[in-house]
Amino acid sequence: MKFLSDKITNNSHGQDSSYFLGWQEYEKNPYDEIKNPKGIIQMGLAENQLSFDLLESWMAHNPEAAAFKNPEGESVFRQLALFQDYHGLPEFKNAMAEFMSEIRGNKVDFNADNLVLTAGSTSANETLIFCLANPGDAFLLPTPYYPGFDRDLKWRTGAEIVPIQCFSSNNFRITESALEDAYKEAQKRNLKVKGVLVTNPSNPLGTTLTREELNLLITFVDEKGIHLISDEIYSGTVFESPAYVSAMEVLSELKDKTDDVWERVHIVYSLSKDLGLPGFRIGALYSNHKMVVSAATKMSSFGLISSQTQYLLAAMLSDKKFTKKYLSENQKRLRERHEMLVAGLREAGIECLESNAGLFCWVDMRHLLSSNTFEAEIELWKKMVYQVGLNISPGSSCHCTEPGWFRLCFANLSEETLGLALKRISSFVASEQPVATSPRKSNKSSKRKGFTKWVFRLSQNNDRNRER
């Protein structure tokens, strides 16, 4: 071990979070309707598989794009096969910028020159952290947040995350006091705060930020002289009112665009969720800060998008008739599948946070806990995995401040498989006996204890250091 780097020998990647451990258990025993009908159903994966037929139909009607031919029918394979500049194909960057505007109701114009292409949003987020912070600097993130951020933002950059504590009492909305408390907490830890990162729509909540929250965030970063990163990879999945509002839309309404806050708000985007193409590795970051764009473009050479992928998707995104139809139909399907999950859970006696976007629901299972602790939450999670046969994500893996919340994904399953999952949940709830202690009562000591031990393991390897 002494001949290896600290980076690979420490435990800061977060791979042993219950979020990832659930995936591992699913992979050992995956559900299959024919081959393994009693296997584990994957409800911990935020993939959009509801509209593949629309993409495949476009491909069938536009074979020249997949065959790498130009509109004149001439092959461009050789040109695409050769080395390409890491700035990306201009036609793809233009199409991507226009598609991002279309999702936002064309209320925001994106300049393709300010767009940096990356191999997925994971790369985009990490690149921004490298551009904005030094090792040991901190970013504030509202809880609950996507578990992968502990890897994406921290592992290689050396940055720190300080949680903005949000609570179910106001539906996990961001407040001014929560922002200030997080900032003060970072100062107590002698951490220099370089910015705030939010997901809008939220993963795992499935809710969009309100205009009031966005104004609050921009005012906060303006006053503190820090950055705002708005991860908007689910912006095209908003299927219900209120309508989606981007941080860039609120920023564009500022009267004085010469204010340097204009250069300190950055957008992350991807086609992984809206188009359901995570395997294509299409991500991007957008910034009005010229030095950030320049540095990020240079960094993108470590994770380029293939020219063939850019060429194909440039043709697809430039087809405005298709993109308009796709966004509308995909949102309709998401709404229907969301309603199916919410109704099925309610019939089983389980409620969800009211949401209007995303590929998942934030589910309240506090009444099924044996006690108001994160240990009880993991106990329930293990039952769901091993007894019920569902991989779901416990709130503790998302740094939720309250035990008993879970994220359930609905867009990666067929309608029949989701129906089976709901039957399994209903049977489990019916078999559970009422508990003596109400988990809804406050228990600050158990919350603190559970929060500081957010990484839970299936094994008993207590000799390994826990993630903070």
The residues, any chain, with a CB within 8 Å of residue 415's CB and separated by 6 or more, are: 337, 340
- Give residue-wise pLDDT tens across range 277-316: 999 999 999 999 999 999 999 999 898 999 999 999 999 9
pLDDT at residue 433 greater than cutoff 60: no
DSSP labels, 109-149? PPPGGGEEEESSHHHHHHHHHHHH--TT-EEEEESS--TTH
Q: What is the pLDDT of residue 6?
A: 74
Q: What is the pLDDT of residue 448?
A: 36
pLDDT at residue 442 greater than cutoff 50: no
Q: What is the pLDDT of residue 288?
A: 95
Told to judge if 38 belongs to the known catalytic residues of this protein, a careful annotator would answer no
Percentage of the chain lying above the pLDDT 90 cut: 78
* CATH 3.40.640.10 domain extents, the chain: 67-319
Average pLDDT over residues 131-146: 97
- Give residue-wise pLDDT tens across range 23-32: 788 999 999 9
pLDDT at residue 438 greater than cutoff 50: no
- Give residue-wise pLDDT tens across range 44-100: 999 999 999 999 999 999 999 988 888 888 888 888 888 778 889 999 999 999 999
Told to judge if 181 belongs to the known catalytic residues of this protein, a careful annotator would answer no
Q: What is the pLDDT of residue 420?
A: 98
Q: What is the pLDDT of residue 8?
A: 72
Structure pTM? 0.89
Mean pLDDT score of the chain: 89
pLDDT at residue 183 greater than cutoff 80: yes
Catalytic residue among 174, 233, 267, 425: 233
Burial state string for 412-443 with b = 16 or more CB within 10 A and e = fewer than 16:
bbeeebbebbbebbbebbeeeeeeeeebeeeb
Catalytic residue among 19, 26, 31, 146: 146
Average pLDDT over residues 395-407: 97
The Cα 410–Cα 41 span in angstroms is: 11
pLDDT at residue 177 greater than cutoff 80: yes
Closest CA to 237 of 213, 267, 205: 205
* CATH 3.90.1150.10 domain extents, the chain: 6-51+324-430
Q: What is the pLDDT of residue 14?
A: 62
Q: What is the pLDDT of residue 66?
A: 87
The total of other beta-carbon atoms located within 10 Å of residue 379's CB is 14
Catalytic residue among 137, 150, 231, 274: 231
Q: What is the pLDDT of residue 60?
A: 94
Residue count of the chain: 468
Told to judge if 447 belongs to the known catalytic residues of this protein, a careful annotator would answer no
Percentage of the chain lying above the pLDDT 70 cut: 89
29 - beta bridge partners? none
Told to judge if 222 belongs to the known catalytic residues of this protein, a careful annotator would answer no
Average pLDDT over residues 418-430: 97
Catalytic residue among 93, 154, 194, 273: 273
Q: What is the pLDDT of residue 105?
A: 92
pLDDT at residue 9 greater than cutoff 90: no
Could you tell me the pLDDT band of residue 374, with boundaries at 50, 70 and 90? very high
Token representation of residue 180: 């200030």
Selecting from 3.40.50.720, 3.90.1150.10, 3.40.50.300, 3.40.630.30, what CATH number does the domain 6-51+324-430 have?
A: 3.90.1150.10
Could you tell me the pLDDT band of residue 13, with boundaries at 50, 70 and 90? low
pLDDT at residue 171 greater than cutoff 90: yes
Q: What is the pLDDT of residue 16?
A: 67
Least confident of 101-105, 184-188, 436-440: 436-440
The Cα 129–Cα 123 span in angstroms is: 10
For domain 67-319, which architecture applies?
Answer: 3-Layer(aba) Sandwich (3.40)
Closest CA to 269 of 109, 137, 103, 385: 103
Residue type, position 342, single letter: V
Q: What is the pLDDT of residue 53?
A: 96
pLDDT at residue 196 greater than cutoff 50: yes
Q: What is the pLDDT of residue 436?
A: 41
